[in-house]
């Protein structure tokens, strides 16, 4: 099955990012394809390298970057939502890119399922 994923919540205020991360990891592990992970609303904060969690806390931004690199995932940050939160190309974590809502629409049209995490 071919999936696309939408993450609408930030990495440290909601479980949505962690749930999406574990879903994507499990789907890939079972042999499914994940075409794109699109980060929207506060979810764009998942792609900002400026976060610096404590050493004993999970670093979900780093985990997304590593997963993207290992599996060639397309990690897309919504440009409008990012700019509203002061996120530009120079603060993106490795593996993330900024693009428009057309990428979300395309992902929904070209995959079997669009799975949404967060409100």
Active-site positions? Answer: 78
- Record the tokens describing residue 97, joined without a space: 């890119």
d(CA 77, CA 47): 7
Residue 115 pairs in a beta bridge with 5
Instruction: Report how far apart, in Å, the C-alpha atoms of 81 and of each of 43, 50, 96 are.
Output: 9, 17, 14
For 80, residues 6+ apart whose C-beta sits below 8 A from its C-beta are: 100, 101
DSSP H helices, the chain, are 16-29, 60-71, 79-84, 102-110
């Amino acid at each position: 099955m071919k999936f696309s994923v939408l993450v609408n919540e930030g990495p440290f205020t909601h479980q949505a990012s962690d749930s999406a991360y574990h879903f994507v990891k499990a789907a890939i592990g079972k042999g499914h394809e994940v075409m794109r992970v699109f980060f929207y609303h506060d979810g764009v904060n998942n792609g900002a390298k400026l976060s610096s969690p404590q050493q004993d806390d999970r670093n979900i931004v780093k985990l997304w970057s590593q997963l993207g690199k290992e599996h060639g995932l397309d990690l897309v940050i919504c440009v409008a939502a990012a700019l509203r939160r002061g996120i530009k190309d120079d603060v993106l974590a490795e593996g993330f890119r900024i693009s428009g809502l057309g990428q979300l629409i395309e992902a929904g049209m070209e995959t079997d399922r669009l799975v949404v995490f967060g409100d």
